[in-house]
Amino acid sequence: MATNWPRLNLAAGPVEVTARTLRDQSRPVLYHYDPAFIETFARVNDLLKLVFRTNYDTIIMQGEAILGLEAAAASMISPGDQVLNLVSGVFGKWFQDFIEAYGGETVELAVPYNDAIDPEDVRRALAANPGIKFLSVVHSETPSGTHNPVREIGRIAREFGVITMVDTVSGLGGELLSPEDWGLDVAVAGPQKCLGGTPGLSLMTISPAAWAAMEARKPRPLRGSFLSILDWKATWLENRRFPYTPSVTEIYALESVLVQALEIGMERFVDRHQQVAAACRAGARALGFALWPARDDIAASCVTAIKTPDGLDEARLRSVMRHRYGVTISPGYGELNGKLFRLGHMGPAQAHPTVLAAQLAVLERSLADIGWPVQFGAGTGAAMAALTDWDDAAS
Ligand SMILES: *Cc1c(COP(=O)(O)O)cnc(C)c1O
């Protein structure tokens, strides 16, 4: 018998998309040089600027966000360049591989994976290492359910003339960004996290300083490569051409999720994620769980990471939720596997009281199923009690 499909995909991305996204994605596939597709691609870039809240150039690379992150390293780092890599989780640590694959030298500033980077430590590290040229940081560490103070970090980097590479794959839509104001030189997001879109694209903003760094790369600028951001500048930005065929249907889906986010409005879009995340934390605590993040003010708005208590078989819990009730949540990732599990609330379809209530109710039922003591209604009740400001009809 084939595995049943889930009813609710509340994983750490990709997540369920709205019916409207599915419908918009199913338009006929256009030839990418058809004037209608050129118009669509231009419009999607304009929408992306509004969602990122930037006037910087946007680049949409045609692969899941890891492509954009690797492309940032590959396009800017010259052999011997020092990169301050801020590590507060799995994705931060992984970025070191990209730095070193392209000849960079890593200077690491790390904190435990339940904590966030202190901007003052960044200042000290940059002051102590005047040779540092780039800084890499993860905005929202999805595997840890934490976020870093990227605004403060980016501003400090700018004071030192250091160019930033920012993984905001799950941060865009979970916090209000401002690339110019925050000193974000290359920011990379994914449509399949808080925007609630389909996976397969890297959404990027590029500052003038980042373009200059790409042009200055030694021994020569990176061109003629799937990883080249400059190829996109020379084709799309300067000539309305493409370096290769874009993923036409993913662009339709992206347009749809950007329009949906802007209809809600970015302030409200972010506020909804933050409200549901706070309510989810209240629900988890009311069920007797401790949260993985060291403090609430560093808890991410895309997922809620719960510390696995002694004696709880979290893999069995997730399996019961998935197979008996059709609710998918995520385990810990990489070295965090087993140490935590993650409730999901990313995307406009999921960051909603109805879905949170269902998720917590199924969590309670599943805990009882595996013999974990639970007071039915404690988690859902606390979460709903915390949601005092919700109003779908408010504008
Ligand atoms: C999802 C995500 C990525 C992309 O990684 P995948 O494992 O390919 O989904 C990168 N960084 C962060 C912080 C993410 O949440």
Quote the CA–CA distance of 13 and 379 in Å, as a whole number.
23
Q: Is 64 in the pocket of ligand 1 (CB under 6 A)?
A: yes
Name the amino acid, one letter, at 173: G
Quote the CA–CA distance of 166 and 183 in Å, as a whole number.
10
Kindly state whether residue 394 falls inside one of the protein's structural domains. no
pLDDT of 1 strictly over 70: no
For the stretch 43-64, pLDDT in tens is: 999 999 999 999 999 999 999 9
Same domain? For 58 and 119 the reply is yes
**CB 303, CB 344: distance < 8 Å:** yes
Angle of helix 66-76 relative to helix 90-101, nearest 10 degrees? Answer: 40
Give the per-residue pLDDT at 394: 83
Q: Which of 208, 240, 262 is the last residue of a domain?
A: 262
With a CB cutoff of 8 Å and minimum separation 6, the contacts of 198 are 14, 17, 21, 25, 191, 192, 250, 253, 254
With a CB cutoff of 8 Å and minimum separation 6, the contacts of 2 are none
For the stretch 355-391, pLDDT in tens is: 999 999 999 999 999 999 999 999 999 999 999 999 9
Ligand 1 center to residue 256 CA distance, Å?
21
Residue closest by Cα to atom 12 of ligand 1: 169
Ligand 1 center to residue 66 CA distance, Å?
7
Residue closest by Cα to atom 9 of ligand 1: 13
Same domain? For 239 and 318 the reply is no
For the stretch 84-111, pLDDT in tens is: 999 999 999 999 999 999 999 999 999 9
Q: Which of 213, 240, 262 is the last residue of a domain?
A: 262
**CB 102, CB 77: distance < 8 Å:** yes
Kindly state whether residue 392 falls inside one of the protein's structural domains. no
When divided into structural domains, the chain yields a total of: 2
Q: Is 387 in the pocket of ligand 1 (CB under 6 A)?
A: no
Same domain? For 286 and 193 the reply is no
The range of the structural domain enclosing residue 302 comes to: 8-15+266-386
The string of DSSP codes covering 147-168 is: E--HHHHHHHHHHTTPEEEEE-
Q: Which of 262, 289, 317 is the last residue of a domain?
A: 262
Ligand 1 center to residue 65 CA distance, Å?
7
Same domain? For 196 and 62 the reply is yes
Candidate from 94, 136, 142 with most ligand 1 atoms within 8 A of CB, to mutate:
142
pLDDT of 350 strictly over 70: yes
Which pair of tokens denotes residue 184? 């974000």
Same domain? For 56 and 204 the reply is yes
CATH number of the domain residue 28 falls in: 3.40.640.10
Ligand 1 center to residue 349 CA distance, Å?
20
Ligand 1 center to residue 368 CA distance, Å?
32
Same domain? For 186 and 213 the reply is yes
Strands 8-9 and 327-328, bridge-based pairing: parallel
Which pair of tokens denotes residue 333? 């990732």
Task: Using alpha carbons, select from 105, 110, 106, 132 the residue that is nearest to residue 121.
Answer: 110
Backbone angle region of 161, left / alpha / beta, with phi > 0 → left and psi within -120 to 50 → alpha: left
With a CB cutoff of 8 Å and minimum separation 6, the contacts of 244 are 62, 226
Residue 209 pLDDT grade (very low, low, confident, very high; cuts 50, 70, 90): very high
pLDDT of 3 strictly over 90: no
For 159, other C-beta atoms within 10 Å of its C-beta total 12
Same domain? For 321 and 211 the reply is no
Ligand 1 center to residue 140 CA distance, Å?
10
Coil, strand or helix: which one is 197? coil
pLDDT of 395 strictly over 70: no
Same domain? For 291 and 230 the reply is no
**CB 277, CB 301: distance < 8 Å:** yes
Tell me the mean pLDDT in the region 149-161: 98
Residue 126 pLDDT grade (very low, low, confident, very high; cuts 50, 70, 90): very high
CATH number of the domain residue 307 falls in: 3.90.1150.10
Tell me the mean pLDDT in the region 309-316: 98
pLDDT of 298 strictly over 70: yes
Residue closest by Cα to atom 5 of ligand 1: 66
Quote the CA–CA distance of 117 and 150 in Å, as a whole number.
9
Quote the CA–CA distance of 76 and 229 in Å, as a whole number.
9
Same domain? For 221 and 308 the reply is no
For the stretch 247-259, pLDDT in tens is: 999 999 999 999 9
Same domain? For 309 and 276 the reply is yes
For the stretch 215-252, pLDDT in tens is: 999 999 999 999 999 999 999 999 999 999 999 999 99
Same domain? For 258 and 294 the reply is no
